[in-house]
Amino acid sequence: MTAAGAVAGRESRHNHVAYAALWFERPPFFGVGVLDVEVSPRVPGSFAIADDARAFCSEVFRWYSSKHRHSEIAKLTTEMIHYQRDGAVLEQQFEVLAEAFQQHPERFVLGVPRVKELSSEV
């Protein structure tokens, strides 16, 4: 069964990972690259049964939503943005960076550190 078949709830005659492997190897947009592949869970070569594929997809989707921090969205997770915790997290990042700058300004050669702002567009 392929990962795509598992997600769609269908069986497949082929015993290889289709969608999941393609998704991790060839991201849908340019902003995602080799780093995502390196830090993501490994994509297995095949799944023996549909339950294995579903378990794998569940793990990958949970990791991607709750653990993976995206550089293009201010090192936040998609879960933080979805549940509107991004403002609190960015404020906390700012406070930590400001305190670090006060204690060790020599470490910040570019001056006062700034927290990346989120774009209003997706």
Please check whether residues 20 and 55 belong to one and the same domain. yes
Please check whether residues 93 and 39 belong to one and the same domain. no
State the Rg of the chain over Cα: 19
**This prediction's pTM:** 0.57
DSSP codes joined into one string, 66-92: HTPPBGGGTTB-HHHHHTT-HHHHHHH
Phi, psi of 70 (to 5 degrees): -95, 130
Residue-range definition of the domain harbouring residue 92: 69-122
Please check whether residues 61 and 84 belong to one and the same domain. no
Distance CA 88, CA 90 (A): 6
Please check whether residues 73 and 101 belong to one and the same domain. yes
**What 8-state DSSP symbol labels residue 17?**
-
Please check whether residues 75 and 23 belong to one and the same domain. no
**What 8-state DSSP symbol labels residue 45?**
S
Please check whether residues 99 and 114 belong to one and the same domain. yes
Please check whether residues 98 and 122 belong to one and the same domain. yes
How many domains is the chain partitioned into structurally?
2
Question: What string of pLDDT tens digits covers the 122 residues of the chain?
Answer: 555 555 555 444 443 444 444 444 444 444 444 445 445 556 777 788 899 888 888 888 888 889 988 888 888 999 999 999 999 999 999 999 999 999 999 999 999 998 888 877 75
